[in-house]
Structure 1
Amino acid sequence: MHLAVYLPLLFPALAGLSAEPLARRLEPRLATWLLTASGLLLAASSTLVLGLLALAGLVRIPLVDALKGYAPEVVARQDPAAWPAALAGTALLALAVLAAVRLAARRAGALWAAALEAACLPGPGPVVVSDDPGAQAYTVPGLPGRIVISHGMLDALDPAGHEILLSHERAHLRHHHYAFVCLAQLAAAASPLLRPLARAVAYTVERWADEHAARHTGDRRAVAETVARAAIAAKRGRGPGRIPAAALGILGRRHRPGMVPRRVAALLDPPPRRRPLLLLGAAALLAATSLCALEAAYDLHRFLELAHAR
C-alpha cells in the first residue's frame, strides 16, 4: 500500500487540532453540522483503513491462502502491508470497534432512560417546573422531549432571564442537540484522536442555543448576563438533584472549565460571520481522507486479484 493510504489514520489528529478554532470562528449551527459530519467521516475512513490492514495481514496466513486459493508467492511478492502494520491495524481495529460498540450501547441506554423519564414527568406541557431548590435547567430527549427548570433557577433569574432560559432550552429540544453530541462522541470512541472534536461539538451546541436565544430576544448582552447568572447560581446551589445523562442545558454540564466564560465573551461580540476559507480547508481535509481511504481499498482489491490469479 502507498504511504498516502495511512494518512486517514493521521487526519483525525489534524481535525482535533483545528476543531476548537473552527468552533470559535464559525457560526455555531454550521460549526456543529460541519464538525459532527467531519468526525463521522474521519472515524469511518480510519476504521476502514484499519480493516484493510487487518485483511491484508489475514490473507498471508497459510490456511487462508489454501482456502481462498491465493498464490503464496504472489502474496509474499506483492505484500500490500508489512506484518507489523497488519498486526497493529488488527489490534487497533478491535479496540476501535469495541469502544464504539460500548459507547453506542451506553448512549442508547441513556437516551431510552431519558425518554422514559420525559414520559413520566408531570403535566401535559413541554416545560416542567421542579421543586428542587438547587438551580437547574436542562432538556430531556423524548417523544416528545421535555424542559425541566427548578424553582432554584427561577428564583435566580428575573422574568427576562426566564424567557431567555426557555428560548435556549427550546433550541436544544427543537434541533436535537443531544444527537450531535452523541454522534461526535461515537466518532471519538472509534478514533480517540477526535476527542477534541467531540468536546468542540459539545461547545457549539451550547453556542447554537445561545445564538437562538439572542435572535429571539434581540439582546445579546442580556443573554450573556443570563448565561453567567445561571452558571453562578448552579455552582452555588449544587445539590443532590439528578440530571439525566442525555440532558443538555444552559449550564454546559460536564464540559471543560472555562466554557461559560467563552460563551459569554462570544455573546458580547458581534454575531459570527461566514468564513469561506475555513470551510474550504475543512472540505479539502475531508476530500483527502476520502480519496486516501478509496486508494487503500483499490490497492487491496488489486492485490487480491493478483494473488488469486495463478
Structure 2
Amino acid sequence: MILAVWIPLLMPLLAVPAARRLAGSLPPRAAAWLLTGCAVALAACTAAALALLLAAGALRLPPVAALGHLSPPLLGGDPAVTVPAAWAAAATLAACAATVVHRARRHRAELRTARRATDAHAPAGDLCVLPDPAPDAYALPGRPGRVVVTAGMLRALSPDEREALFAHERAHLAGRHHLFALTAALAAACHPLLRSLRAPLAYALERWADEAAASRVGDRRVTARAIGRAALAAAPSAAGPHRPGTVLAATTGPVPRRVAALLTPEPMPGHPPIRPGSAGRRLIAVALLACVTFSAASALDAAADLHTTVEVAQGEVTR
C-alpha cells in the first residue's frame, strides 16, 4: 500500500497536460465531456488515496485498534511515516470538503440572488430583459432556465445578432453547461493541478454553445459578429451586480479565438475534415486513459492491501 497509495496523488502531473492537449483537438462537445470526466475521475482517485492514508494511520491509534481488535505491530509500515501522513491526509481531506461545501453553497446563493433580481421583471418566455444600461447577457439556470439580457446589450446588437446571442445562451441552458463548470470547480478542490482544467473546459463550453447557435440561426458569420460585438460592448463594464460569477455568457473566454473558429467554414455532411496529427491524438488518448486507469487501479490495490493487512492483524489478536 505504501507505494500504490501515492500514485493517485501524483498521476495528475501526467494526466492533466494530456487531457488539455487532447481536448484542444476535439470537437467542443467531446472536449467538454472529456475534461469534466477526467476531472471527476482524478478527483475521486485523489480523495480515495487520502482516505486510505488517513485510515492506515488511524488504525494505529490505540482506541481504534482496540475497537477493531487489531494488533498494531502487524499492521505493517513504519509508524514514523504512516502516522504523520495520516494527519496530513486528514487535514487535506477536511480542507477539500470545506472548499467543496463552500463553493456549492456560494453557487446556490448566487443563483438565488440572480433569480430574485430577474423575478422582479416580467419575462417574455425564457427571456428576461433587465433595464440596465450596461451591456450584459448570460444564461441563468434553474426551473425554468432564463436568458437574461440588459437593455444596454439589446441596443448594442442588430436584430439578427440578438437572435444569435439568444441562441447561444439557450444552448448553455439546454446543454446544462453550468453543471459541467460546477463539477470541474468542485473537483479542482480535491487536487490543485485540476484547476488548470477549468479554463479549457470553459472554452469548450462556449465553443459548444457557439456551434449550437450557428446551427440554430443558420449563419456562422452572423453568430461570429454577434459574439464579437457583444464582447466589445460588455468589455468596458464589469458584470452586472446580480450576475452570478459561475454562470456562462457569450462574452467570456478567448472571444477572438472563438470568432476565428466560427469564421472557419463548417465541413459538408459526409465529408469530415482532414485533421493532421491523428496518430498523435490517438497516442495522447491512450496515454490519458492509461493514466486514469492506473490511478484508479492503484487506489483499488491500496484498498485491497489495507483490507488484507487489517484481516491479518485481526486474526492474530483472535488467536
Answer whether TM exceeds 0.5 for this pair: yes
For 2:292, which of 276, 279, 286 is the aligned residue? 286
More displaced 10-residue stretch of structure 1: 115-124 or 178-187: 115-124
Following TM superposition, by how much is the alpha carbon of 1:6 offset from its aligned partner in structure 2, in angstroms? Answer: 1.3
CA contact (8 A) 2:121 2:130 kept: no
Distance 2:226 2:191 in 1: 36
CA contact (8 A) 1:51 1:93 kept: yes
TM (normalized to structure 1)?
0.88
**2:303 match:** 297
Distance 2:301 2:212 in 1: 42
Amino acid at match of 1:245: G
Following TM superposition, by how much is the alpha carbon of 1:28 offset from its aligned partner in structure 2, in angstroms? Answer: 0.8
Distance 2:197 2:52 in 1: 25
- SS of the equivalent of 1:70 reads coil
Change (3 A) 1:88 1:31: same
For 1:269, which of 264, 267, 270 is the aligned residue? 264
Following TM superposition, by how much is the alpha carbon of 1:142 offset from its aligned partner in structure 2, in angstroms? Answer: 1.5
Q: In structure 1, list runs of 5 or more residues that go unmatched.
A: none
Amino acid at match of 1:216: R
Q: CA RMSD in A?
A: 2.6
Change (3 A) 1:289 1:120: farther
CA contact (8 A) 1:122 1:128 kept: yes
Amino acid at match of 2:313: A
Following TM superposition, by how much is the alpha carbon of 1:26 offset from its aligned partner in structure 2, in angstroms? Answer: 1.1
- SS of the equivalent of 2:138 reads strand
CA contact (8 A) 2:213 2:223 kept: yes
Change (3 A) 1:237 1:194: closer
Kindly provide the CA deviation profile for residues 283-302 of structure 1, in whole angstroms up to 9, marking residues without a partner as x. 33322221111111111111
**1:234 match:** 234
- SS of the equivalent of 2:55 reads helix
More displaced 10-residue stretch of structure 1: 166-175 or 195-204: 195-204
CA contact (8 A) 1:135 1:238 kept: no
Amino acid at match of 2:178: Y
CA contact (8 A) 1:136 1:152 kept: yes
Distance 2:110 2:188 in 1: 18
Identity of counterpart residues, as a percentage?
Answer: 42
Change (3 A) 1:90 1:270: farther
Change (3 A) 1:53 1:81: farther
| Count of residue correspondences | 305
Q: In structure 2, list runs of 5 or more residues that go unmatched.
A: 268-272
**1:194 match:** 194
- SS of the equivalent of 2:245 reads coil
Following TM superposition, by how much is the alpha carbon of 1:163 offset from its aligned partner in structure 2, in angstroms? Answer: 1.7
**2:4 match:** 4
Q: Please give the residue correspondences for 1:46-61 in structure 2 after superposition, counting only pairs within 5 Å.
A: 46-61=46-61
Q: Please give the residue correspondences for 1:143-158 in structure 2 after superposition, counting only pairs within 5 Å.
A: 143-158=143-158
Change (3 A) 1:295 1:77: closer
Q: Please give the residue correspondences for 1:127-138 in structure 2 after superposition, counting only pairs within 5 Å.
A: 127-138=127-138
Amino acid at match of 2:15: A
- SS of the equivalent of 2:235 reads helix
- SS of the equivalent of 1:250 reads coil
CA contact (8 A) 2:20 2:197 kept: yes
Distance 2:3 2:118 in 1: 51
Following TM superposition, by how much is the alpha carbon of 1:112 offset from its aligned partner in structure 2, in angstroms? Answer: 3.7
Distance 1:230 1:102 in 2: 32
Following TM superposition, by how much is the alpha carbon of 1:128 offset from its aligned partner in structure 2, in angstroms? Answer: 1.9
- SS of the equivalent of 1:248 reads coil
Change (3 A) 1:184 1:88: same
**2:109 match:** 109
More displaced 10-residue stretch of structure 1: 63-72 or 133-142: 63-72
Q: Please give the residue correspondences for 1:117-132 in structure 2 after superposition, counting only pairs within 5 Å.
A: 117-132=117-132
More displaced 10-residue stretch of structure 1: 119-128 or 177-186: 119-128
Change (3 A) 1:117 1:283: farther
CA contact (8 A) 2:5 2:299 kept: yes
**1:65 match:** 65
More displaced 10-residue stretch of structure 1: 31-40 or 284-293: 284-293
**1:225 match:** 225
Amino acid at match of 1:303: T
Following TM superposition, by how much is the alpha carbon of 1:24 offset from its aligned partner in structure 2, in angstroms? Answer: 2.4
Change (3 A) 1:119 1:154: closer
Distance 1:271 1:280 in 2: 28
**1:244 match:** 244
Distance 1:267 1:192 in 2: 33
